[in-house]
Structure 1
Amino acid sequence: MNDLEAFAKLAIALQPWRHQIVFAGGWAYRLYRQHPLAIIPPYDALYTRDADVALGDKDTFEGNIKEALAKAGFHEQLESEFRPPVSKYTLGTEEQGFYAEFLTTLRGSGVKRSGEPDATTKLAGVTAQKLRYMDLLLIEPWQISLASDDKSIEPLDGLQIPNPVAFIAQKLLIHENRKKEKRPQDVLYIYDTLELFGARVEVLTTTWKKVIVPLYPEREVAKVIDARRQVFSKVTDTLREAARIPSDRTLEPDDMLGLCSELLDEIFE
């Protein structure tokens, strides 16, 4: 099973909640190419075998997502000591197979009254991991349609992904607390997303000023701007590692820094 077929199975299983869920992470990065504003580059998007699904922590969900996934062939794997435990929903039995994880927003201190980490919650039957700034990804998501050259896969309409400004801003906000090995990939995601939509930077700027800033706390907006200055202030080891990730193109850290600095300054001015 190829990854597009696996993702299609996930999207079809989640169809009853399509208006409430947002596909984030690596699949958002890949699905941006399906948006009509994207300028498709001559290189491939990075491969990812996991799909992050963002859920609103204050939403009411009808039905049971876990049951829908089980009917589609997904198996729940419990992977932590948290209560409820962090879960992956895997398709197939291959170690390197496809899997989905559900994420929602962490609010407050991150610690329950009992002293336990406030790390997970149950939403619509699935275990969602709580992470900072996930609510940002739910602000005015974009919708795309996904078609495949494989005629056995029906076109999927109305798939929600974060608007790219929210996607970039959230990556900037979590950068400092990300595992060191994850940071270069996040930087490459930002760079590639800016390449996709850089020709329409005015759309991104308007999204920031007119959509996100009025809806997001002023303190968090200031953190985004501060994080942008820290992450792209100079060529760093993280940026150098990001440039080495793709195998189908040659990237120069100085060029990456130049493009990101120029466009992010314009977007977040």
Structure 2
Amino acid sequence: MRIARFSIDGNVAFGAVEGEGTVDSGDLVLDIIKGIPYADFELSGVKVPLNKVRLLPPVLPSKIVAVGRNYAEHAAELGHSVVDEAGRPEAPLTFFKPSTSVIGPGDAIAYPAFSSDLHHEAELAVVIGRMCREVPPERVKDVIFGYTAANDVTARDVQQREKQWARAKGFDTSCPLGPWVETELDPADLTLQCTVNGEQRQLGRTSDMIRPVADLIAHISEAMTLLPGDVILTGTPAGVGPLNVGDEVAVTIEGIGTLTNKVIKRG
């Protein structure tokens, strides 16, 4: 099931997406959900055309936990290794993006004034569905609500010159999510693509992850409690590159859909 969060006439609601097509095709409708989707819910039967509402970020996470260097080719293109001197895999590299970085489909990415080298990073995002801690890998599927597309927008020059990544990856509008959450999906081997102005920049498969989703959530939940709506970003494949003011960047993930955002000058 595809679950979208949207606003209409000043009200915010969740709805189940019905039909086949893209966000702008006019072929999709929303069946409004009674309550919130993390617990048992009912469909109201009240339906609205998706192109008549404003899609919002599909979740409002208390935190976004991101994983770096989870695709070997991407680590290599930035000059990093994913193994230690003994040839053993490094521990997952994790960092936070704040909730204030989240925007939804169609929202603008505001180019930060403190950077001159903004990059796209297309990623599969995992949405947590229940409060959990110390989840073993074999139980991870029980705590997942679903999956959505993400763009870990990065001020690459700031990332390279500052020891911590808080400003480089946590500025306002640096975490587009959407267009909805797909609750019935196997994340093991999905095509992941990023285009800029229609030109392909990134193309990879989730099967190329160094650590799969179950291992990542087990690792992260060893350290912290995850709450419903929290988001785990699982890393980006090779091909990251620059974004400029006026660009349209789109992240497409097999089985989910396409997340599209334009880059504007920060006012």
Q: What is the TM-score normalised by the length of structure 1?
A: 0.23
